[in-house]
Amino acid sequence: MEKNNNKKENILNSATTLFQMKGYHATGLNEILKESNAPKGSLYYYFPEGKEQLALESITLTRDYVEKLIKNRLDKTDDPIKAIQNSIIEMVDETYIKSNSIISFKSNKKISINLIALETVFTNEKLREACKETFNIWEKCYTQKLIDGGFESKKAKYLGSIIESMIEGAILMSLTKKDDQPLLDIASIIPKILND
């Protein structure tokens, strides 16, 4: 049974890597099979709905991993302003931004869904919804930290949305520039935004 789980996990991890590096449309099933060293029958056995199911499960895998990462970072400090600021700095410290994607070097996992979100927003409603839900979950991590730190609920939700939007934009800019400065800039301005 464990061997079967490893096959499925290998296929899913390979698909996740390829979707995040090349996008949904540029990633073919044969490429996923080659990358995962899996026979074609295994792909359809574990993912009977094919590529779309693989993409949905890849988004879920990334969503859950990053949610846990955000919560763990935020839990290190009680002060919500310092916690959010430090969380962003940790993201920079723990990732390879100057390569072709944002990869956590501690886990070797990709931690961005930006490409698949942008690429499928107008062409695949299921994937768009999965990406939307992912961003909402990550946003709620920041919102909850602010509420726990004494911010009024409505303001915390507003600020949580701004923080997540800034981070996603900074990830895109950091990848494009192969420079982590956009994320560091966000970290530096967090106290001003949250203290206003």
Residue 109 forms beta bridges with which residues?
104
Structure tokens at 59: 């988004």
Return d(Cα 91, Cα 100) in angstroms, integer. 16
Question: What is the reported pLDDT for 105?
Answer: 43
**pLDDT exceeds 60 at position 3:** no
Task: Please count the other Cβ atoms lying within 10 Å of the Cβ belonging to residue 28.
Answer: 12
Collapsing DSSP to helix, strand or coil, 189 comes out as helix
Task: Please count the other Cβ atoms lying within 10 Å of the Cβ belonging to residue 30.
Answer: 10
What is the mean predicted confidence (pLDDT) over 38-59?
Answer: 94
149-170 pLDDT, tens per residue?
999 999 999 999 999 999 999 9
Question: What is the reported pLDDT for 109?
Answer: 57
Q: What is the mean pLDDT of the chain?
A: 89
Domains and CATH numbers, the chain: 59-195 (1.10.357.10)
69-113 pLDDT, tens per residue?
999 999 999 999 999 999 999 988 877 655 555 554 444 556 688
Question: What is the reported pLDDT for 74?
Answer: 98
C-alpha distances (whole Å) from 10 to each of 38, 60, 111, 168 are: 8, 15, 17, 27
Collapsing DSSP to helix, strand or coil, 150 comes out as coil
**pLDDT exceeds 80 at position 61:** yes
